[in-house]
């Protein structure tokens, strides 16, 4: 009995006392300097953006010799899994990146520090972008970049079909007419690509005068008549007018690949395609503001820097966040690397951005900002999107009518998602 | 008669080869793709053998920061896991098979039942425990859970039950203690099962991805699967790179497996065959 | 040593200790925590301390059996469960047949058996991260060799992973490829322990090979087959890594065709911010697996032959 007890207590001793000693002790920073941890999913190591990011950090450290920044970039797929366990364990980085879709959840859970008043002068920031990271009247983050979606078109195909290029006045009807002409050129060419996904649908609904939530964001309005009409029109591009390839037609090819192969007339996608298309399209292409239906509406995507609630140096962290997001030096580096859009407009930097071609009509990027609509957002963002997405899939596959699907969707959202 | 045998032999090999091809084709493709250069990846018809083989992908792979370190980490974790799992599981199996104690049956059933709870929901609790033990972001956090491996206990118990009690009695005559006979008699008799388990546990530890992702929070402690998965997120269509990485991740296990081949000659013993 | 010397918990404990401590810290404690979380509405996105007011934290977030009720009354749960069962129905018979074949091949006194043993085990050694890349390519509608081969014999191959109908069979194919070698090894273990005298006797009686297989091998192997099917069933209910890496993460396959239970649990825990809900989900799955294992165990008596 005694031996057993001895072994037991020895083992317990080992586990409780020795093991923690093995683990790495926290590094003590040198006297007077503060070390900040910075984590993000954008700007990965091997890319131009990564280089720009390292440049921004170097500049910040130069201006703030008492602050050292430790950067860690993690791939998007793994980032949020890791972030979650870090937040739970109180080990989140001082400053970390959040996209708009995940921001509300972390803000509402109290994981973020209030940065109101710590950001200095924010009058230069795009207001839509800045307000997006305000939760219940408290500023929790600062937008570091944003991005939107435009209509890309293959000039060569338009010329071949003797068509006028898309203008900012185009509507869905014009798209359909042009698409049919382009498709008559040759087999295996399609007119248009814009799948009925959550992101395209919330925007499509707005373009048709509807919305998925009421203005106060207190109730879902998914089955408004305008939304039903928008959904069935959008699904119709694939199923009725057939101007858009189905998954079977695409046979595993991505939409960008299809466009680059010269077999797609028009594509609605993000401006982050500029680099790829410039390098890999063997034909002329340009962009226009995305066509609406009864009104115009364009996409809003944004990432932000937030400060962890557990950060020991919140003031310095906020300083780093706002420097990376909006300082002139950082903005210059961001624009030079074509890393989405800066949230702050410095005229001379923007001018240099506009002078890069293709696309020739780069102004359309900024013109689109006049029609920004933010996506519906809730604490249960990912789940909400998945629910909406699953019903949109039913419409596209023809299993449910747009009305039946959106009625059911509205019901399920009301039951599962709290606003 | 001779003809009959030939037909049979032919059928045997035909069947065996068909199954073999199914198992091995992906690997051949993995090797061939890893030797291709960028342009030859998505070509129709398929280029089974690269026209201009190159080891570019491997050079690129090893030039990535953290690659070598992650292989080192994976080796440490895997060997640690194998050692600790074999040690603790064989002891427990010995107790369950050769020592009679109250609650033995219930305890054993509890061990088995623990295999049935999906582990993903235990990640966060495990993270919290490791956090309190100050083990988060250390390789110990990946090794220590292997002290408890229900499957290994289950298999070794089966093995030890087949070993006659006479061995214990014989050991007693020599005056050896129970523990000595465990070490000197039982472990050697379980050699085959231990080698087999070593491979299975090594596979688990080497290929595990989600738990290391949750528990290892800084790049210096990343294991190979984390790096590989990040790679496939970052270079979605760089199949040459991805396949080279996948191949590297299989090679160590393959070496161990071929080395321990003779232990596999009699397969894994689970569930008693009476006869 | 006498039986007396090998009796009692005091003798057993030192041997059990490492395993027990491991079980306590890294299995039982997490299981208890997850049980407590399963009655909360915790998101899994806020700071929690185990040693400091954890019970108070649970009490603050307490919702009782709300989670379980919500799960069971949600059509999505039944859909995921039916997908798991569909997987099992496709996977289990095919896997048993193929791994039995493989085991017989390796067991045959034939040159080449050693080579086959290595080859069949290759997929088992591969991680799903690598395996999924391979299978995504094999099944790729345009570039993939499977559809190219089908085209040669005049069949237009399906869209496999991108098709609502074929997504799950695709997962089954890949899973069998990966698991066959493992279960073949277990069956081989059974084959090797069958006393060869049975076959000698049967041969003298003039039994044919198929007769011997049906009358000797199968009955004697029944308990091993039972363990294999039990083990693979438990694994099939926990089907996840291949689904996560092979089908689009966001939608659980085309129109949710590969939505399975552990995939849901992972989503709720790590994507939808519903940790408490996910924990309750795991416990429901646990009960389901226990129930199926129990039914199997009951059935064992009927088809497993312990006394030939």
pLDDT at B23 over 70: yes
Residues B240/B245/B249/B254 CA torsion (nearest 10 deg)? 30
B3 — contact with chain A (CB < 8 Å)? no
pLDDT at B1 over 50: no
Choice among A65-79, A262-276, C109-123 with the minimum mean pLDDT: C109-123
φ, ψ (nearest 5 deg) of residue B46: -65, 135
Å between B272 CA and nearest CA of chain C: 7
Higher per-residue confidence, B207 vs A45? B207
Domain A149-300+372-416 has CATH 3.30.1220.10: no
pLDDT at B173 over 60: no
What is the token pair recorded at C292? 């199926």
Taking contacts as CB-CB distances below 8 angstroms, the residues of chain C near A1 are: 10
pLDDT at A163 over 90: yes
Sheet arrangement for strand A190-193: A190-193, A264-270, A149-154, A285-288
B167 — contact with chain C (CB < 8 Å)? no
What integer pLDDT is reported at residue A311 of this predicted model?
Answer: 94
Query: Nearest-CA neighbor of C23 among B133, B223, B104, B113?
Result: B113
- DSSP per-residue string spanning B141-167: HHHGGGG--HHHHHHHHHHHHTS-THH
pLDDT at C308 over 60: no
Taking contacts as CB-CB distances below 8 angstroms, the residues of chain A near B234 are: 44, 46, 75
What integer pLDDT is reported at residue A29 of this predicted model?
Answer: 47
Whether residue C156 contacts residue C150, with contact meaning beta carbons closer than 8 Å, is answered with: yes
Choice among B107-116, B144-153, B189-198 with the minimum mean pLDDT: B107-116
A188 — contact with chain C (CB < 8 Å)? no
The average confidence (pLDDT) of chain B is 82
Query: Nearest-CA neighbor of C26 among B156, B111, B122, B203?
Result: B122
Whether residue C231 contacts residue C96, with contact meaning beta carbons closer than 8 Å, is answered with: no
- DSSP per-residue string spanning B160-218: HHTS-THHHHHHHHTT--HHHHIIIIIHHHTHHHHHHHHHHHHHHHHH--HHHHHH--S
Using only C-alpha atoms, chain C has a radius of gyration, in whole angstroms, of 24
Task: Give the DSSP H or E segment for C214.
Answer: none
CB-facing half-sphere around the CA of B208: CA atoms within 13 A: 25
What integer pLDDT is reported at residue A20 of this predicted model?
Answer: 45
CA distance A200 to A198: 6
Q: Using 50, 70 and 90 to split pLDDT, how confident is the model at C13?
A: confident
- Buried b / exposed e along A153-186 (16+ C-beta atoms within 10 A): bbbebbeebebeebebebebeebbebbbbbbeee
What are the extents of the domains in chain A?
A: 34-145+302-345, 149-300+372-416
What integer pLDDT is reported at residue A414 of this predicted model?
Answer: 93
Q: Is C102 helix (H, G, I), strand (E, B) or coil?
A: helix
The average confidence (pLDDT) of chain A is 87
CATH number at residue C195: 1.10.3720.10
Identify the top-confidence range among A401-415, B238-252, C228-242.
A401-415
Whether residue B182 contacts residue B94, with contact meaning beta carbons closer than 8 Å, is answered with: yes
Task: Give the domain range for residue C116.
Answer: 75-303
Whether residue A75 contacts residue A39, with contact meaning beta carbons closer than 8 Å, is answered with: no
> Do the domain assignments include residue B51?
no
What integer pLDDT is reported at residue A247 of this predicted model?
Answer: 77
What integer pLDDT is reported at residue B45 of this predicted model?
Answer: 58
> Do the domain assignments include residue C38?
no
- Other Cβ atoms closer than 10 A to B160: 21
A74 — contact with chain B (CB < 8 Å)? yes
CA distance A139 to A120: 12
Q: Using 50, 70 and 90 to split pLDDT, how confident is the model at A285?
A: very high
What integer pLDDT is reported at residue A26 of this predicted model?
Answer: 45
Whether residue B250 contacts residue C130, with contact meaning beta carbons closer than 8 Å, is answered with: yes
CA distance C84 to C168: 10
What is the token pair recorded at A134? 């305000």
Higher per-residue confidence, A120 vs C62? C62
Task: Give the DSSP H or E segment for A15.
Answer: none
Using only C-alpha atoms, chain A has a radius of gyration, in whole angstroms, of 25
Q: Using 50, 70 and 90 to split pLDDT, how confident is the model at B169?
A: low
Would the CB atoms of A393 and C254 count as touching at under 8 Å? yes
Q: Over the stretch A334-380, which tens digit does the pLDDT of each residue have?
A: 888 878 888 887 888 888 888 887 888 988 988 888 898 888 888 88
Query: Nearest-CA neighbor of C12 among B66, B140, B102?
Result: B102
Q: Over the stretch C245-282, which tens digit does the pLDDT of each residue have?
A: 887 655 677 888 899 999 999 999 988 889 999 999 99
Higher per-residue confidence, B231 vs B203? B203
Q: Using 50, 70 and 90 to split pLDDT, how confident is the model at B274?
A: very low
What integer pLDDT is reported at residue B202 of this predicted model?
Answer: 92
Q: Is A216 helix (H, G, I), strand (E, B) or coil?
A: coil
CATH number at residue B234: 1.10.3720.10
Q: Which contacts qualify for C173-177: CB closer than 8 Å, 24 or more apart?
A: C173/C135, C173/C139, C174/C131, C174/C132, C174/C135, C174/C242, C174/C246, C175/C87, C175/C91, C175/C95, C175/C239, C175/C242, C176/C91, C176/C94, C176/C95, C176/C98, C177/B22, C177/B23, C177/B26, C177/C123, C177/C131, C177/C135
Find the closest chain C residue to B226 by CA distance: C129
Domain count across chain B = 1
B127 — contact with chain A (CB < 8 Å)? yes
Please provide the CATH number assigned to the domain covering A34-145+302-345.
Answer: 3.40.190.10
Higher per-residue confidence, A12 vs A254? A254
Taking contacts as CB-CB distances below 8 angstroms, the residues of chain B near C44 are: 124
**Distance, C-alpha A22 to centroid of its chain:** 41
What integer pLDDT is reported at residue A392 of this predicted model?
Answer: 93
Domain count across chain C = 1
pTM: 0.88
Choice among A22-36, C32-46, C81-95 with the minimum mean pLDDT: A22-36
What integer pLDDT is reported at residue B66 of this predicted model?
Answer: 83
C141: nearest CB among A252, A310, A380: A252
> Do the domain assignments include residue C259?
yes
**Among B18, B100, B108, B125, which would you mutate to test the C interface (most chain C Cβ atoms within 10 Å of its Cβ)?**
B125
Å between C164 CA and nearest CA of chain A: 10
Neighbours of chain C (3+ CB pairs under 8 A): A, B
Q: Using 50, 70 and 90 to split pLDDT, how confident is the model at B46?
A: low
Q: Using 50, 70 and 90 to split pLDDT, how confident is the model at A153?
A: very high
CA distance B221 to B216: 6
Helix pair B239-259, B191-207: axis angle to 10 deg:
170
B103 — contact with chain C (CB < 8 Å)? yes
B268: nearest CB among C131, C138, C185: C185
Identify the top-confidence range among A121-135, B103-117, C34-48.
C34-48
> Do the domain assignments include residue C188?
yes
C251: nearest CB among A12, A84, A389: A389
A386 — contact with chain C (CB < 8 Å)? yes
Whether residue A272 contacts residue A204, with contact meaning beta carbons closer than 8 Å, is answered with: no
What integer pLDDT is reported at residue A148 of this predicted model?
Answer: 87
Q: How far is CA C96 from CA C86, C124, C184, in A?
A: 16, 16, 9
What integer pLDDT is reported at residue C80 of this predicted model?
Answer: 95
Q: Using 50, 70 and 90 to split pLDDT, how confident is the model at B219?
A: confident
Would the CB atoms of B133 and A86 count as touching at under 8 Å? no
What integer pLDDT is reported at residue B170 of this predicted model?
Answer: 61
Would the CB atoms of A252 and C162 count as touching at under 8 Å? yes
What integer pLDDT is reported at residue A252 of this predicted model?
Answer: 66
B126 — contact with chain A (CB < 8 Å)? no
Taking contacts as CB-CB distances below 8 angstroms, the residues of chain C near A4 are: 10, 13-14
Taking contacts as CB-CB distances below 8 angstroms, the residues of chain B near A46 are: 234
pLDDT at A218 over 60: yes
Length reported for chain A: 419
What integer pLDDT is reported at residue A2 of this predicted model?
Answer: 46
Q: Do domains A34-145+302-345 and A149-300+372-416 have the same CATH topology?
A: yes
Higher per-residue confidence, A101 vs B268? A101
pLDDT at C288 over 90: yes
Task: Give the domain range for residue B76.
Answer: 58-264
- Buried b / exposed e along A291-315 (16+ C-beta atoms within 10 A): bbbeebbbbbbbbbbbbbbbbebbe
Interface predicted TM-score (ipTM) of this complex, two decimals:
0.83
Find the closest chain A residue to B128 by CA distance: A89
Å between A12 CA and nearest CA of chain C: 8
Mean pLDDT of the region B199-212: 90
What integer pLDDT is reported at residue A162 of this predicted model?
Answer: 93
What integer pLDDT is reported at residue B275 of this predicted model?
Answer: 41
pLDDT at A59 over 50: yes
């Amino acid at each position: 009995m005694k031996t057993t007890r001895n072994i037991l207590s020895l083992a317990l001793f080992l586990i409780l006392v020795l093991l923690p000693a093995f683990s790495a002790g926290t590094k003590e920073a040198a006297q007077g300097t503060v070390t900040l941890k910075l984590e993000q999913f954008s700007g990965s190591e091997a890319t131009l953006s990564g280089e720009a990011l390292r440049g921004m950090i170097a500049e910040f450290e130069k201006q703030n010799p008492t602050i050292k920044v430790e950067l860690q970039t993690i791939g998007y797929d793994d980032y949020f899994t890791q972030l979650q366990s870090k937040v739970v364990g109180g080990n989140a980085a001082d400053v970390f990146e959040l996209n708009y879709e995940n921001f509300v959840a972390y803000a509402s859970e109290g994981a973020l520090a209030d940065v109101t008043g710590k950001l200095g002068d924010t009058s230069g920031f795009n207001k839509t972008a800045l307000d997006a990271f305000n939760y219940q009247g408290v500023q929790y983050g600062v937008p570091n970049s944003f991005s939107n979606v435009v209509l890309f078109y293959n000039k060569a195909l338009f010329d071949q079909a003797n068509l006028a290029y898309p203008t900012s006045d185009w509507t869905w009807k014009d798209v359909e007419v042009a698409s049919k002409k382009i498709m008559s050129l040759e087999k295996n060419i399609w007119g248009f690509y814009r799948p009925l996904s959550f992101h395209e649908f919330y925007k499509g609904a707005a373009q048709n005068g509807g919305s998925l939530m009421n203005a106060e964001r207190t109730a879902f309005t998914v089955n408004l008549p305008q939304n039903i009409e928008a959904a069935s029109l959008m699904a119709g591009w694939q199923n009725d007018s057939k101007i858009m390839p189905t998954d079977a037609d695409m046979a595993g090819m991505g939409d960008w690949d299809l466009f680059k192969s010269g077999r797609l007339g028009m594509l609605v996608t993000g401006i982050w395609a500029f680099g790829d298309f410039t390098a890999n399209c063997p034909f002329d292409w340009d962009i226009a503001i995305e066509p609406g239906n009864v009104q115009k509406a364009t996409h809003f995507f944004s990432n932000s820097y937030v400060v962890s609630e557990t950060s020991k140096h919140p003031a310095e962290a906020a300083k780093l966040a706002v420097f990376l997001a909006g300082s002139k030096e950082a903005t210059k580096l961001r624009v030079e690397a074509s890393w989405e859009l800066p949230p702050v407009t410095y005229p001379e930097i923007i001018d240099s951005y506009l002078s890069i071609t293709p696309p020739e009509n780069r102004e359309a990027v900024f013109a689109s900002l006049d029609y920004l609509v933010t996506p519906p957002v809730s604490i249960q963002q990912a789940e909400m999107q998945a629910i909406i997405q699953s019903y949109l899939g039913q419409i596209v596959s023809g299993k449910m009518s747009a009305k039946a699907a959106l009625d059911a969707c509205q019901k399920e959202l009301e039951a599962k998602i709290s606003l | 008669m001779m003809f009959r045998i030939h037909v049979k032999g032919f059928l045997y090999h035909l069947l065996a080869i068909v199954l073999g091809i199914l198992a091995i084709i992906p690997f051949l493709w993995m090797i061939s793709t890893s030797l291709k250069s960028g342009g030859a990846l998505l070509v129709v018809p398929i280029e089974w053998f690269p026209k201009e083989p190159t080891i570019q992908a491997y050079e690129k792979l090893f030039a990535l920061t953290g690659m070598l370190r992650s292989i080192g980490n994976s080796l440490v974790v895997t060997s640690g896991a194998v050692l600790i799992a074999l040690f603790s599981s064989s002891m427990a199996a010995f107790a369950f098979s050769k020592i009679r104690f109250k609650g033995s049956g219930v305890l054993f059933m509890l061990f088995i039942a623990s295999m049935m709870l999906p582990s993903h929901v235990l990640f966060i609790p495990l993270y919290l425990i490791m956090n309190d033990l100050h083990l988060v972001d250390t390789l110990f956090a990946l090794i220590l859970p292997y002290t408890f491996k229900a499957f290994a206990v289950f298999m070794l118990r089966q093995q030890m039950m087949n070993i006659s009690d006479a061995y214990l009695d014989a050991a007693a005559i020599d005056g050896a203690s129970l523990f000595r006979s465990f070490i000197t008699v039982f472990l050697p008799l379980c050699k085959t099962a231990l080698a087999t388990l070593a491979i299975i546990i090594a596979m688990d530890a080497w290929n595990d991805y989600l738990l290391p992702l949750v528990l290892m929070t800084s790049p210096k402690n990343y294991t190979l699967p984390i790096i590989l998965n990040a790679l496939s997120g970052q270079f979605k269509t760089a199949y040459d790179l991805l396949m080279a990485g996948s191949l590297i991740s299989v090679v160590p296990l393959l070496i161990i497996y071929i080395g321990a081949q003779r232990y596999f000659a009699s397969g894994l013993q689970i569930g008693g065959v009476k006869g | 040593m006498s039986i007396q010397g090998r009796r009692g918990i005091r003798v057993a404990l030192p041997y059990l200790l490492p395993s027990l401590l491991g079980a306590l810290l890294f299995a039982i404690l997490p299981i208890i925590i997850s049980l407590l979380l399963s009655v909360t509405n915790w998101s899994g996105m806020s700071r929690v301390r185990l040693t400091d007011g954890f019970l108070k934290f649970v009490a603050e977030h307490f919702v009782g059996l709300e989670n379980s009720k919500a799960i069971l009354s949600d059509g999505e749960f039944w859909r995921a469960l039916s997908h798991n069962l569909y997987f099992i129905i496709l996977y289990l018979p095919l896997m048993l047949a193929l791994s039995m074949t493989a085991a017989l091949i390796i067991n045959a006194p034939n040159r080449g058996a050693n080579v086959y043993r290595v080859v069949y085990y290759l997929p088992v050694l591969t991680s799903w991260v690598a395996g999924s890349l391979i299978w995504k390519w094999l099944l790729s509608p345009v570039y993939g060799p499977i559809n190219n081969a089908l085209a040669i014999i005049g069949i237009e191959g399906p869209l496999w992973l991108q098709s609502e109908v074929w997504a799950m069979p695709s997962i089954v194919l890949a899973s069998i490829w990966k698991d066959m070698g493992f279960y073949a090894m277990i069956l081989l273990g059974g084959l090797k322990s069958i006393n060869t005298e049975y076959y000698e006797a049967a041969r003298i009686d003039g039994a044919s090979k198929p007769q011997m297989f049906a009358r000797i091998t199968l009955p004697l192997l029944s308990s091993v087959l039972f363990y294999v099917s039990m083990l693979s069933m438990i694994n099939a209910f926990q089907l996840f890594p291949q689904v996560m890496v092979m089908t689009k993460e966001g939608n659980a396959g085309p129109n949710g065709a590969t939505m399975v239970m552990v995939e849901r649990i992972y989503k709720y825990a790590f994507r939808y911010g519903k940790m408490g809900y996910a924990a309750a989900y795991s416990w429901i799955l646990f009960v389901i697996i226990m129930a199926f294992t129990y039914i199997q165990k009951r059935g064992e008596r009927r088809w497993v032959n312990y006394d030939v």
